Structure 1
């Protein structure tokens, strides 16, 4: 295996994190990340951001908030 370098790693990082690169490229990127703190930090930020966004999409607003928003929208619609 050969170190693919920062430019290639950063170019393919999102695909790598989603397991969308071939096995050889994945191994090269993994090897590069093991030895490059800058790229490893960038991968950590990308992975964390993806996880937070995915988690927030699964969360639902409390029913009380939903009712309050709908009531206020209804009031605004009646005034207009």
Structure 2
């Protein structure tokens, strides 16, 4: 394999982590990340951030909080008209 270099690995990192690059590019980026401590760190940060955001999007607000927010939105709509 040929090393794709830091610029290519970083440019396509998000797509790589989502498996949205072709197999050849995926293998080249994976090889580069495995051998480049700087890109390893960046990939770790990006994958951790993606996981945290995905987990947060699955959480729901408590029923009481949702009711309070909806009540304030309704009050704001009434006041605006």
Does 2:56 match 1:67?
no
Structure 1 residue 43: Cα displacement? 0.7
Partner of 2:26: 26
Instruction: Provide the aligned C-alpha RMSD in A.
Output: 1.7
Deviations along 1:1-55, one digit per CA (max 9) or x if unpaired, are 0111101111111110110111111111111111101101111111111111111
The TM-score normalised by the length of structure 2 is 0.83
> CA, structure 1 residues 77+32, in 2 after alignment: closer, same or farther (shift >3 Å)?
closer
Does 2:37 match 1:37?
yes
> CA, structure 1 residues 39+74, in 2 after alignment: closer, same or farther (shift >3 Å)?
same
Structure 1 residue 68: Cα displacement? 2.5
Does 2:7 match 1:7?
yes
The TM-score normalised by the length of structure 1 is 0.84
Where does structure 2 lack aligned partners over 5 or more consecutive residues? Answer: none
Where does structure 1 lack aligned partners over 5 or more consecutive residues? Answer: none
